[in-house]
Amino acid sequence: MPAVILSAMSLAACGAGSEPVAQAGADSSENSGRSTTTQSEEPSTASPADTSLPEITLPPRPPSDYAGFIAQPTACTGTAPETVVPMVFDAPEDQGLDETSKVEAVLSTSCGEIALELDPAIAPETVNSFVFLARAGYFDGTVSHRILPGFVLQAGDPSATGREGPGYTIPDELPGAGFLYEKGILAMANSGPNTSGSQFFVMLDDAPLPPNYSVFGRVIDGFDTLERIAQIPLGPNAFGEVSVPLETLYVERVTIADS
């Protein structure tokens, strides 16, 4: 796997010259005693050569924050939702989830819906936090600030900088050694041990990541939406990774099914 992908995940949470004119010369033997005139001596009727430089169209500059993203066109010809409402919490409230029962959720995006199955049995605190934030409307109107086709879709940061969160962190709930982050896996981004907050990622393909990211669910439907998302045009971020959407993918809302 390319080193840029592996190293990037550690940053996950916290870019004429004119043509010559031929001269018509006179033959001295045929024009002896007569004046001769060359084309170069005749009054010119041609327009002056255009010496202006061609217009240069620069590629769009990738956005680096929420304001930049909402100024762009919306991906998949979708409609931009209401702007995000910033929220900060001291800690997630207990959602009273049954750890023996999986939780269904729907991630509604500009490119379609993605059905998720959250598993409190493997990551109870992570699932509780995600459900709490979803029910509070924390994700509504946020954007995906990072898409790497063949790797990940990342979202969950209202600032769209890749450095913000909900005001709290939750402990890691990591998979065992040798776990495969396969296509459709839902996990938490982080900037080191026990720094997960609100940023999450969905695997767009299998990848041999180290087991350093809390897995708390998987995609169960909407893989066609993931394929559309992988086609969004991208530009480079500040580190040179070509992963910044040039058409904005909104997370319109995250809906938690009634238990």
Residue 85's contacts (CB-CB under 8 Å, 6 or more residues apart) are: 137, 140, 141
How far apart are the two ends of the chain, measured CA to CA in Å?
40
The predicted structure's pLDDT at residue 55: 72
Pair type for strands 112-118 and 146-148: unpaired
pLDDT exceeds 80 at position 247: yes
Answer with the residue of higher pLDDT: 47 or 209. Answer: 209
Q: DSSP class of residue 170?
A: B
Domains and CATH numbers, the chain: 60-80+101-168+177-256 (2.40.100.10)
pLDDT per position as a tens digit, 185-235: 999 999 999 999 999 999 999 999 999 999 999 999 999 999 999 999 999
The predicted structure's pLDDT at residue 258: 84
Q: DSSP class of residue 74?
A: B
pLDDT per position as a tens digit, 124-161: 999 999 999 999 999 999 999 999 999 999 999 999 99
**Nearest residue to 147 via CA among 253, 250, 234, 240:** 234
User: How many other CB atoms are there within 10 angstroms of residue 220's CB atom?
Assistant: 14
The predicted structure's pLDDT at residue 148: 98
Mean residue pLDDT of the chain comes to 85
pTM of the model: 0.80
